[in-house]
Amino acid sequence: MKRLFLRNSLRVPVAIAIATLVSTPVQAASNLKTLVKSCFVLHDPSGKYDISPEWEEPAKVMGGLPILPDLTKRIKNVITADHGNKSVLIVGDASSAYRYYLASLAVSGDPDLAKFAHLEIDLPKIVEGHTLLGQVQEYWQKQISKPALGEDIILYITNLSSMIGLGASNRSSTGVETLFAPNIQGGKMRSVAFIDYFNYSRVRSDNNYVINSFSDTVFLPEYGNDDINGILLNYARAYIPQLKLTEAHVNYIKGTIGYYQPNKPEPQRTLTVFKELVTMMQEAVAKSGRFVMDKATLKAASMKAAQVPDWIIQKDFSMLKALPGKIRSRFIGQDEAVNGVVRLSRIGYGGGRTDEKPVASIMFAGPTGTGKTYLSKLLSKNLGLKMITMDMTSYRSSTSMDRFLSVMTDNLTINPHAVYVFEEIDKANVQVLDRLYFLLDEGIFYDRNQKPMYARGCFVIMTTNAGYDVIVKNRDKANVRELFELALLDRFRPSFLNRFDEIAMFRPFTDPEYIDMAKLHIRLKADGMKETYDWNLSVDDSIPTLIARESRSLTFGARPTLRMINGILSLGVTNYQIEMAPLEEGSNINLELLSAENKRFKLSVEGGDSLEFQVDL
């Protein structure tokens, strides 16, 4: 009887314990309340805290999706260990692709990982409002280190290089990394950090102790085809179910966007196409009530996502036919350069080019003020392309090479279809020119990690004043072109010059061209006044001739002419409004020359007074 009593007495508390284990939810880590003030939530096993908006999209896409299983197992074994250093450093490309992988760790559903709270440290929050010496370190200790130590919490740092030096001052070059490193090295804190390849090399050189404080360093490989498809299909099901995208659709989109936007990594580049598809669907439904998703639609969406102009997508080559007239309506002289860019545009965009080189490459060389930059602007505007200007005087020294590589990589990633203008290319360091060899010859620019960046959608223009003195001195000679080319060889290697499709020589303007230029820019100034103020400006025919005669310059080109036009017209209008009365919208204004010798002008307003004024030309 006694033994029976003992068994029953044991069964009751055991049953209670089992019931408690089943029915009681996982408790939030005791210090999670403090941490969420300075962190973003990726996963809270207790369910008390929702996923932060910054992580909602990658968490929703990656939920239950197995990705890079071998790497995940390796990381999991470290950060879920009971003893020792529980930290991992992930090294990868400087893109947002790594965020999907970090989200997969947090929401994978693996019970070994799911029992931990996953939080990303909000680094800008750490320094917010802390300006006094030591305040950042004190905040880190109280709000990050102390609440996380020994808890079932995994802290993510999505930019390790930004954390290094956080809280540094004139007295100390180190920051919170000196607090973080001992904590992970001693096994007191679980952490996963990310750093891109470039900053990994830099930190290894300058702050190697931070790198060495991690238990393991892993390199994030490129996602495989199945991984990318899984991410994209999950995204489509979660956010755009109305499109009913299949794996066949996804594969076609990936192939198309991979050609037109080769420099942006997956899955980001295909996700941009998804967004374009949604926009196209909404527009089509609003217009005709139906949306057909065929290959033509998918290709158009991919090209739009890559910023390819609409006229190229629609093969509306009337744009190329009208290009000479549009340029000539706002540009005087330089027939060689104008004919060159028109010809290269037709070949590059009209289907005549079959290699991987840029759409076109041309060098504009000649005296300052002869229209090299202005022609580049007109070309990009009339082709509907963004113009990316690179001031090569900023890359004179070998120490500027890293900055040049970074800027070019960013530009080619964001703007794969644009007019790229390298201003004053003769000022660039020889190392910079060497990198541009491949861009001109093969349509490839190698970044700092020797990763190829494709420039097949770029119209490349390089400007230089090299040889200007030869052009000016020999402008009337029949062999000026030959002398000019010899002058270029004094500055550039033949192998570099030989990589351009064309080299256009810009000549000094002739006297008739100066008159035409004055007339053109007076008209453009009047058009600007009409558009901005609704003023109707007319100018005496003798004024363009005076401006052309007084402003022509072999040294400075067209710029004195433009300054003189602005000075005469703007000064007259300004003086009238100050001395006489404000000009109303719709005012009819006339400017006439009273004395060419004394540079005296008269500005009259219909229905109002007139004002005489003198300009020092």
Identify which of 254, 263, 253, 270 has the alpha carbon closest to the alpha carbon of residue 456: 263
**Residue where the block lists tokens 């299909």:** 233
Q: In whole angstroms, give the CA distance from residue 572 to residue 529.
A: 13
Q: 383 - beta bridge partners?
A: none
Strand extents, DSSP E, 163-211 = 190-196
pLDDT at 1: 35
pLDDT at 128: 86
Instruction: Count the alpha carbons within 13 Å of 549 in the hemisphere toward its beta carbon.
Output: 8
Q: Is 445 exposed, middle or buried (0-12, 13-18, 19+ CB in 10 A)?
A: buried
DSSP 86: -
For the chain, state the CA radius of gyration: 33
Q: Which CATH number fits domain 32-219: 3.40.50.300, 1.10.10.10, 3.40.190.80, 3.10.110.10?
A: 3.40.50.300
Q: In whole angstroms, give the CA distance from residue 126 to residue 163.
A: 10
pLDDT at 193: 97
Identify which of 367, 337, 336, 373 has the alpha carbon closest to the alpha carbon of residue 468: 367
Q: Amino acid letter at 255?
A: G
Q: Do domains 32-219 and 318-505 have the same CATH topology?
A: yes
Q: How many CB atoms lie within 10 A of CB 584?
A: 12
Buried b (16+ CB within 10 A) or exposed e, 463-472: bbbbbbebbe
Assigned CATH for 511-614: 1.10.8.60
Cβ atoms of 544 and 522 closer than 8 Å: yes
pLDDT at 20: 37
190-196 and 153-157 as β-strands: parallel, antiparallel, unpaired? parallel
Cβ atoms of 382 and 501 closer than 8 Å: no
Cβ atoms of 375 and 344 closer than 8 Å: no
Q: In whole angstroms, give the CA distance from residue 160 to residue 184.
A: 14
Spacing of C-alpha 452 from chain mean position: 17
Q: Amino acid letter at 574?
A: T
Domain ranges of the chain: 32-219, 225-305, 318-505, 511-614
Structure tokens at 587: 């005012």
Q: H-helix or E-strand containing 529? A: helix 511-533
Q: How many CB atoms lie within 10 A of CB 518?
A: 27
Assigned CATH for 318-505: 3.40.50.300
Which parts of the chain register pLDDT below 50? 1-25
Structure tokens at 515: 């008159």
Cβ atoms of 101 and 221 closer than 8 Å: no
Identify which of 562, 561, 556 has the alpha carbon closest to the alpha carbon of residue 368: 556
Cβ atoms of 100 and 268 closer than 8 Å: no
> DSSP characters for 555-569?
TTTTHHHHHHHHHHH
Task: Tell me the per-residue pLDDT of 318-352, one tens digit each, with 9 for 90 and over.
Answer: 999 999 999 999 999 999 999 999 999 999 998 76
